[in-house]
Chain A
Amino acid sequence: EIVVTQSPATLSAFPGERATLSCRASQNVITNVAWYQQKPGQAPWLLFYGASTRATGVPDRFSGSGSGTDFTLTISSLQSEDFAIYYCQQYHAWPQTFGQGTKLQIK
């Protein structure tokens, strides 16, 4: 099983700041990584697939990058609605696996 590890577990930032979230896979997953945002009481929302391709409706302040084992989600200028939990997921091999999440909270 490919283990996916996200860091940090919690990130505190001010609105307007830049946020960088990391995701590491235990094996090479090429670019077979997706990112999701989840808010309390809601289903996840797909942000990126293919590590860097923005899904429909995702604002361009969000960007995804990386390949192999190391991936990054960057939010260039945090808006109030961006404070949520973010998960990365690898779909390179079965079983699909999610990271444990990064909680992005307002400082």
Chain B
Amino acid sequence: EVEMLQSGGGLVQPGGSLRLSCAGSGFSLSRFALGWVRQAPGKGLVWVATVSGREDDTYYADFVKGRFITSRDKSNNTLFLHMNRLSADDTAVYYCAKGRLGNYNDVSGWLDWGQGDVVTVSS
């Protein structure tokens, strides 16, 4: 059974940093495109970042470029989102998600999701 277990969220001060983790089980994380989607309180879904391909190509939303980095540790089957220079606008539930097909590149729909991790940026 595919599972994605998230951890690392919490309260952080403006300007601070946080690292989210997403541990995969039941599948080889290295074979799938993986993404991060966030949802601010009471708001809709917003795509944040994706890592895909054999060479770990990365893609970012403009509002996180230069501040967030996504990476994966294939030996530990874990995806990370390193978040820097956080602001109140980054307050949200962050979801990790897995692509449908194990061909390294497929992003045609996020099939499996983590449980979500709350990030609160506040002083």
* A44: chain B residues within 8 A (beta carbon): 37, 45, 95, 110, 113
Per-position contact with A for B18-54: 1 when CB-CB < 8 Å, else 0? 0000000000000000010100000011110010000
- Which size class do A's interface residues fall under? 20 to 34
How many pairs of A and B residues are in contact by the CB < 8 Å rule?
61
> Which residues of B lie under 8 Å from residue A46 when comparing CB positions?
100, 109-111
B61 interface residue per 8 A CB criterion: yes
Cβ B95 vs Cβ A32 within 8 A:
no
27 contacts between A and B (CB under 8 A): A32-B108, A43-B116, A44-B37, A44-B45, A44-B110, A44-B113, A45-B113, A46-B100, A46-B109, A46-B110, A46-B111, A49-B100, A50-B108, A55-B111, A56-B111, A87-B45, A89-B45, A89-B47, A91-B108, A95-B60, A96-B35, A96-B47, A98-B37, A98-B44, A98-B45, A99-B44, A100-B44
State the majority secondary structure of interface residues on B. Answer: strand
Interface residues on B, range: 20 to 34
Q: Mark B48-84, 1 if CB is under 8 A from A, else 0.
A: 0010000000011110000000000000000000000
Binding site for A on B (CB under 8 A): 35, 37, 44-47, 50, 59-62, 95, 100, 107-111, 113-116
A94–B111 touching, CB < 8 Å: no
* Contacting pair B109 A49 (CB below 8 A): yes
> Please, which residues of chain A bring their CB within 8 A of the CB of B109?
34, 46, 48-49, 55, 89, 91
The answer to whether A87 and B44 have CB atoms under 8 Å apart is yes
- Residue of B60, B62, B107, B109 contacting most chain A CB atoms (<10 Å): B109
Compute how far the CA of A99 lies from the CA of B95 in the bound complex, rounded to whole angstroms.
17
Q: Quick one: closest B residue to A32, CB to CB?
A: B108
A99 vs B46: C-alpha distance when bound (angstroms)? 9
Which B residues are in CB contact (< 8 Å) with A87?
A: 44-45
Most A Cβ at <10 Å: residue of B45, B100, B116: B45
